[in-house]
Amino acid sequence: MNPLDFSVEELDRLFTLANDIEKNPAAYAHACDGKILATCFYEPSTRTRLSFESAMTRLGGRVIGFADANSSSAAKGESVSDTIRVISCYADICAMRHPKEGAPMVASEKSRIPVINAGDGGHYHPTQTLTDLLTIRTMKGHLDGFTIGLCGDLKFGRTVHSLINALVRYPNTRFIFISPEELRVPDYIIEMLKEKNIPFEEVIRLEDVMPRLDLLYMTRVQKERFFNEEDYVRLKDFYVLDVAKMTLAKEDMLVLHPLPRVNEISVEVDEDPRAAYFRQAQYGVYVRMALILTLLGLA
């Protein structure tokens, strides 16, 4: 499952289902009775893995898996293709996170069961994007016509890459990329935006663009993808969203963040009604429930 696997109409059905699950959880409590989800996480994760596990458990299904490559046969040298062939015998659906870009895709080609990409290196993170889109759609009522500021590590942040790829499909989206020079959005994304004639700007100062934003997507500087500690230390606190900066924003601007947060949003902003990041985490469970049901053909 990758960002563009679903059409806009299919995404809409998925979000409507997620909203129904939110309103009516009891109606879905046994929807996956007897089904098994395998979570294969070759890279650290808290919320993505646990939200998948919570989603399957809330649907009445069961979960097996590993949370650390060292405790799987990858440590013995097994390929993801072989691992997934075997897991296909044990589970009905699999969520896979891997440090190598494209690994979940390779696995899905050899798999008899649906494989969901739960993050592949600095590449994509499609289920976080589903979470982001569901949050925006539920809180704002639509997904088109927004000026969205993406701020922080736009180079290594896979959630950013997936979200841009998804939002280009909604009319009148305008992107403002806010990052230090070293952490700019990758060229292949800039090329794609130019090709599609989607308006975008690249800026360094958050304050300058704040008043124009409908949505602000903050991100953490991705420490684990840096080649040297010195660069990370220099860039990690480049942006700190605080109450003073929030006074520059529209009254109905939403602040999103995939979490985990480090220093890029000060905790005082959590009390602001525009801070949507903890609700986002909650929506992550509903959307993964909807995704599991859809991929298992149970929706």
Which residues form the interface with ligand NCD (CB under 6 A)? Answer: 47-48, 119, 125, 128, 158-159, 220, 258-260
- Residue 3 or 119: which CB sits closer to ligand NCD? 119
CB 239 within 8 A of CB 261: no
Q: Verify whether residue 49 is a known catalytic residue.
A: no
Q: Which of 76, 142, 196, 205 is catalytic?
A: 76
Q: Verify whether residue 48 is a known catalytic residue.
A: yes
In the complex, the smallest distance separating the C-beta of residue 280 from ligand NCD, rounded to whole angstroms, is 9
- Residue 35 or 97: which CB sits closer to ligand NCD? 97
- Residue 6 or 124: which CB sits closer to ligand NCD? 124
Q: Which of 35, 49, 58, 97 is catalytic?
A: 97
In the complex, the smallest distance separating the C-beta of residue 296 from ligand NCD, rounded to whole angstroms, is 22
Q: Verify whether residue 147 is a known catalytic residue.
A: no
- Residue 47 or 250: which CB sits closer to ligand NCD? 47
Q: Verify whether residue 125 is a known catalytic residue.
A: yes
- Residue 35 or 161: which CB sits closer to ligand NCD? 161
In the complex, the smallest distance separating the C-beta of residue 247 from ligand NCD, rounded to whole angstroms, is 26
In the complex, the smallest distance separating the C-beta of residue 36 from ligand NCD, rounded to whole angstroms, is 23
In the complex, the smallest distance separating the C-beta of residue 71 from ligand NCD, rounded to whole angstroms, is 19
Q: How far apart are CA 286 and CA 277, in angstroms?
A: 15
Active site residues: 47-48, 76, 97, 125
